[in-house]
Amino acid sequence: MNDSTESKDLTLEQIHNFKGAYPKQLWSLFMVEMWERFCFYGMRGVLAIFMVDQLLLSDKDSNLKYGAIQAFVYAFTFIGGIFADKILGFKKSLTFGAIMMILGNLLIAANPHDFFYFGIALTIIGTGFFKPNISSMVGSLYAEDDPRRDAGFGLFYSGINVGALLGGIVCVWLGKGHSWNLAFLAAAVVMVIGLLMFLFVKKQMGPIGDSPLLHLAPSKKLWREIAVYAGALVSIPLIFIMISNTQYTDIFMAVIGPLALIYFFIQLTKYDLKAKKQLIAALILIFFSILFFAIFEQAGGSLALFANSNLKHDILSVPLDPNMVNNSANSLFVIVFAPLLGILWVAMAKKKIEPNTVIKFGLGFLVLALAYYIFYSLRFFADAQGMTSLEIFAIAYFVVTLSELCLSPIGLSMITKLSPKNLAGMMMGLWFLASAYGQYLAGLIGASMSTTDESASLTTKLLSYTDGYLQLAFYALGAGVLLILVSPFIKKLMQGVK
């Protein structure tokens, strides 16, 4: 790979000066990320059931391990981001990450029983190198003050969810109906498509994502790259040990966050006052996102269990599995509404009435509060047996999705606006590390919400879950109000970034 010849064709300026709502490169990254998320959510969709079926784990252990793997996957994005900034650049990080994800899934496909943990360790490394860096590349397609950026991330987010939806459906169908080997093989195959597509469209990216070490002698640069690849491979056994013993996850999560913060503050000293303020603003919003994802990610845990036990099996008399609604409603709504909201943001920007990032975050929390209030209100629609309305549940998911769209793609966009170029990967990693903590907390919250008594009546379960959702609604409301109150202060820190 020769970065300097790659960059000759298109200049950054040419890329930034695109006409219309979206740069054409965004569609390419949309497709690549779609395949990656297909692979990721396909693997994730079968994970918990697979561990019960093949590794003979109990439901509880399988849930704990699922949570640990999720936390690791997102925590490694911080490391992947740093190595992209310092050594590999986004293009090579993506390529390496994709190869690791392919190998990981192929290993499990070859022998799900024996190679499971090795395969997962490779997937964790792969996602770490891939996920934050493709998001940073999207941000690089825009000039610093381009008002079309949030809309671009909205569209990109749609792609994420097309992949998530398809992956969840196809891999679960293959795994449950045919064989686990096939489910993991499908995840590997789609990632091969994603990688080939990326290699094909890489040229359109011009200098975006080239190695930061182009000024070094090629041999020096090569050795550093090899060191990163070797380091990643050497860490496989370590990750293997940590995911096979869940108690290590707690230690890992207790250590990685503080370490990341120390690293962040060390980096901060290297920048001028303006950049420092912007990075602190990003950090504050990143902290808020932990709470958001802790509430939002009830989807994979408590809401799935709740759907399983307390929801009726029809929408307006059309038979429908409540867990199918739980697993796919959010993605479907994102696919449809993310581009629409994007168009709304651009239109508002033209009239100069677009809410700024902090207010969008605040709105995200307020809407999340409303969504969880609707989940709570399900108790008022229940019959004598404790079974309640799938229609209201679906409406709550629609509202959850609106809240997600005010915060998650906007968060990606915000990171790319507030980070200096050579810290973009690390900051994106920090954003996803917050998601890792969100997922981790989500598991703890979910566990505290379920009744310990297995034989509890459905009505008791209904009351226990919905009580929990009301509490979460209050937390979200508090965070939303707080954010809107402190928004002038954070806006000041953002130094003119909207």
**Which residues here bind ligand GLN, judged by CB under 6 A?**
37, 160, 293, 408, 432, 435
- Nearer Cβ to ligand GLN (38/432): 432
**Looking at beta carbons only, is 66 or 376 nearer to ligand GLN?**
66
Name every residue whose Cβ is closer than 8 Å to that of residue 231 and which is 6 or more positions away in sequence: none
CB closer to ligand GLN, 84 vs 87: 84
Q: Which is closer to ligand GLN, CB of 205 or CB of 400? A: 400
**Minimal distance, residue 161 CB to ligand GLN, in Å:** 7
DSSP string across 12-44: HHHHHT--SSS-HHHHHHHHHHHHHHHHHHHHH
Distance CA 70, CA 60 (A): 15
**Residue 177 burial (10 A CB sphere; 0-12, 13-18, 19+):** exposed
Least separation in angstroms between residue 211's CB and ligand GLN is: 25
CB of 240 to ligand GLN, least distance (A): 24
In whole angstroms, how close is the CB of 5 to ligand GLN at the nearest point? 32
Neighbours of 454 (CB within 10 A): 6
Which among 67, 122, 127 has a CA at the least distance from the CA of 436? 67
Nearer to ligand GLN, 76 or 432 (CB): 432
In 3D, which of 180, 159, 65, 72 has the Cα closest to residue 122? 72
Least distance to ligand GLN, CB of residue 190, Å: 15
Residue 9 CB, shortest distance to ligand GLN, in Å, is 30
Which residue, 37 or 202, has its beta carbon nearer to ligand GLN? 37
User: Which of these, 119, 156, 217, lies nearest to 21 by C-alpha position?
Assistant: 156
Spell out a b/e string for 91-130, using b for 16 or more CB atoms within 10 Å of the CB, else e. bbbbbbbbbbbbbbbbbbbeebeebbbbbbbbbbbbbbbb
Residue that is written with structure tokens 């950054």 in the block: 12
In the complex, the smallest distance separating the C-beta of residue 153 from ligand GLN, rounded to whole angstroms, is 11
**Toward ligand GLN, which CB reaches closer, 389 or 403?**
403
